[in-house]
Amino acid sequence: MSTYNEQAKPKVTTALLRKMKQNGEKIACITSYDYTMATIADAAGADFILVGDSASNVMMGNETTLPITLDEMITYAKGTVKGAKRAMVVVDMPFGTYQADPLTALHSAVRIMKETGASAVKMEGGEEIRESIEKVLCAGIPVCGHLGLTPQSVNKFGGYGVRAKEDAEAERLINDARMLEELGCFAVVLEKIPSGLAARVAKEVSIPVIGIGAGSDVDGQIIVIQDMLGMNKGFKPKFLRVYADMFEAMGNAVGQYVSDVKDVTFPNANEQY
């Protein structure tokens, strides 16, 4: 396998991400929830690996991100951190672990940092969680914001449609992005919003803007690894590019193994002691 990391690039930090934005170098982000996927993403040159609460869907089979717990996120993050040698690992704070009050947010974020060795956390929301973000930042924990479609609020939105199409919501989103920058967040994810709005935010704030379903005029992109590998058959939103059919490839390999076991062609003489 040819690896982007063969060029011995420096370990990714919040400062490096900011420099990449300043230099116009796009930031490639991807999710991972385990050691093996993290080694693949890291060796392939991903700059930023997110242990997303999308683990609730793709790892646990839940319909939403709401049920996943802090303990479960910490387990997924521990394996991911071990596999990421160069990439920066950021961990989603799951639903209910930061919205209630700043102290709860701080305790949750401290657990993530202490128990996983990750470099930062991500929190969904703007003005409504300002105090929680401030408290976490005060402890020296880097925070990535997340605006637009924030899946933890799916019940409020009533679905996973495109956000901020109307002027009032777009204006609120711009103000929230400015607030995240002023508070000291190191980056912000913009999910499923009009590309023109995302481009405007990326121009107006100095912190990296990472898009998913937000067009190309932002500072980087993020994608769920199972989705781009074609492992998640039924999921085909407009913004998704599928780079492989791993459902088929892995299914064929497992099917061949099953058939080899049944007709006793595995193991052969060279595959035993």
Instruction: Point out the residues that are catalytic.
Output: 191
Closest residue (Cβ) to ligand KIV? 52
Candidates 14, 32, 54, 80; binder of ligand KIV (CB under 6 A) is: 54
* C-alpha span between 231 and 146 (Å, rounded): 25
Considering the complex, what minimum distance in angstroms separates the CB of residue 261 from ligand KIV? 36
* C-alpha span between 217 and 209 (Å, rounded): 9
Those residues whose C-beta lies under 8 Å from the C-beta of residue 220, and which sit 6 or more positions away, are: 20, 26, 27, 28, 29, 47, 48, 208, 209, 210, 211
Considering the complex, what minimum distance in angstroms separates the CB of residue 97 from ligand KIV? 14
* C-alpha span between 135 and 132 (Å, rounded): 5
- Residue 36, SS3 per DSSP: helix
Q: For tokens 């319909």, what's the residue?
A: 63
Candidates 53, 176, 181, 219; binder of ligand KIV (CB under 6 A) is: 53
Q: Specify the residue, 10 or 234, whose C-beta has the smaller distance to ligand KIV.
A: 234
* C-alpha span between 194 and 206 (Å, rounded): 20
Question: With binding defined as CB under 6 A, does residue 73 bind ligand KIV?
Answer: no
Question: Cβ distance 235 to 213 under 8 Å?
Answer: no
Sites for ligand KIV among residues 218-257 (CB under 6 A):
222, 224
* C-alpha span between 188 and 161 (Å, rounded): 20
Sites for ligand KIV among residues 158-217 (CB under 6 A):
189, 191, 212
Question: With binding defined as CB under 6 A, does residue 149 bind ligand KIV?
Answer: no
Q: Which of 6, 8, 50 is nearest to 31 (CA)?
A: 50
Considering the complex, what minimum distance in angstroms separates the CB of residue 104 from ligand KIV? 20
Question: With binding defined as CB under 6 A, does residue 52 bind ligand KIV?
Answer: yes
Q: Specify the residue, 216 or 256, whose C-beta has the smaller distance to ligand KIV.
A: 216
Q: Specify the residue, 49 or 199, whose C-beta has the smaller distance to ligand KIV.
A: 49
Question: With binding defined as CB under 6 A, does residue 42 bind ligand KIV?
Answer: no
Q: Specify the residue, 47 or 92, whose C-beta has the smaller distance to ligand KIV.
A: 92
Interface residues toward ligand KIV, by CB under 6 A: 31, 50, 52-54, 92, 189, 191, 212, 222, 224
